[in-house]
Amino acid sequence: MSEPDSAPIVSVEHVFKSVTDSSGTLDILRDVHFQLAPRETVAIAGASGSGKSTLLSIIAGLDTPTRGTVRLAGEDLFAVDEDARAAIRARQIGFVFQSFQLMSNLTALENVMLPLELLGQRDARTQAREMLARVGLGERLRHYPKVLSGGEQQRVALARAFVVRPALLLADEPTGSLDWATGEQVMALMFDLNREQGTTLLLVTHDRAIAARCQRRITVEAGRITDDRVGQVLG
């Protein structure tokens, strides 16, 4: 892996996350801190319920930490209100989910146009067409999600995520709903697009082969993390 040549794109700073109910307090994350450099590819691994998806949600500003903060391109996500966080997400972050999260009432083209339109870009249709062609769906522009295969839906989701040229791509089990062969095709496409755009990629996965494609693997266990790059518990 090449050494970072600029400021980190993501800085997770001493993040704690706890939830309390009638049975007591559960510590999900405990003093988690690490940085991601521009263009890095990093996998978050760990057992089910270990806090991987919670960590991803906090990095996206979709969930709030009990303590600590996250900086995205130098901006403190939790020093601003939710409207400001949403604006940062729209400019800086692309998302790919296991369940695709496409708008069922929109065509493939309209799904990919949506984030561009929310940013006020006038050439949204042209950019969306070009990105769908890039992921091999140039002939499926007017199809709705219900008539697309799982692999095609995830390709639409990739097109939607990358069309805004995000600084950071967050992917949560992106092949979890796909068969092995389709998942392999989708992952190859994701890594190709990531290299082309120079995006920082952070993905949650149970798949060791997918994690091995990344430059680093951060493992969440008992609320703390181990970073394979240094081979020691952090926090």
Domain boundaries, the chain: 10-228
What is the SS3 assignment for 179?
coil
The percent of the chain in helix, strand and coil, each rounded to the nearest 5, is 35, 30, 35
pLDDT of amino acid 5: 53
pLDDT of amino acid 3: 47
DSSP string computed for 206-230: S-HHHHHTSSEEEEEETTEEEETTT
Could you tell me the pTM of the whole model?
0.88
pLDDT of amino acid 48: 85
Nearest to 102 by CA among 140, 139, 133, 72: 140
On whether the 10-228 domain is CATH 3.30.460.80, my answer is no
Token representation of residue 75: 């901006």
Nearest to 185 by CA among 128, 112, 143, 136: 136
- Main-chain dihedrals φ then ψ at residue 50, nearest 5 degrees: -80, -15
pLDDT of amino acid 142: 97
Per-residue pLDDT of the chain (235 residues; tens, 9 = 90+): 444 457 899 999 999 999 998 888 999 999 999 999 999 999 999 888 889 999 999 999 999 999 999 999 999 999 999 999 999 999 999 999 888 899 999 999 999 999 999 999 989 999 999 999 999 999 999 999 999 999 999 999 999 999 999 999 999 999 888 889 999 999 999 999 999 999 999 999 988 888 999 999 999 998 999 987 633 444 4
